[in-house]
Amino acid sequence: MRFADLARGAGLHRLVVLSQYGAETGSPVRFLRWHAEVEAHVRRLGLDHTVLRPNLYMQALLAFAGTVAQGRFAAPVGGAAVSAVDTGDIAEAAAAVLTGAGHTGRTYTLTGPRVVTHDGIARALSAATGRAVTFRDAPADRFAAALAGVLPPWQIAGLVEDYAHYARGEAADVHTSVADLTGRLARDITDFARDDAAVFVPV
pLDDT, greater one: 3 or 67: 67
User: Considering the chain, what is the average pLDDT of its residues?
Assistant: 94
Evaluate if residue 106 carries a pLDDT over 70.
yes
pTM of the complete model beyond 0.85: yes
Q: At CB < 8 A and 24+ separation, what contacts does 123-128 make?
A: 124/189, 124/190, 124/192, 124/193, 125/61, 125/68, 125/193, 125/197, 125/200, 127/190, 127/193, 128/190, 128/193, 128/194, 128/197, 128/200
Q: What is the pLDDT of residues 63-93, one digit of tens each?
A: 999 999 999 999 999 999 999 999 999 999 9
Distances (CA, A) of 202 to 66, 69, 189: 8, 5, 21
Write down the CATH number for the domain with range 3-200: 3.40.50.720
| pLDDT confidence band for 13 (50 / 70 / 90) | low
* Single-letter amino acid, residue 186: A
Q: So what's the pLDDT on residue 9?
A: 46
Under the banding of pLDDT at 50, 70 and 90, the label for residue 10 is very low
Give, as one character, the DSSP assignment of residue 68: H
CA distances from 63 to 1, 74, 79, 147, 169 (A): 39, 11, 20, 11, 22
Task: Give the model's pLDDT for residue 12.
Answer: 53
Q: What is the DSSP string of 95-111?
A: HHHHHSSS-TT-EEEE-
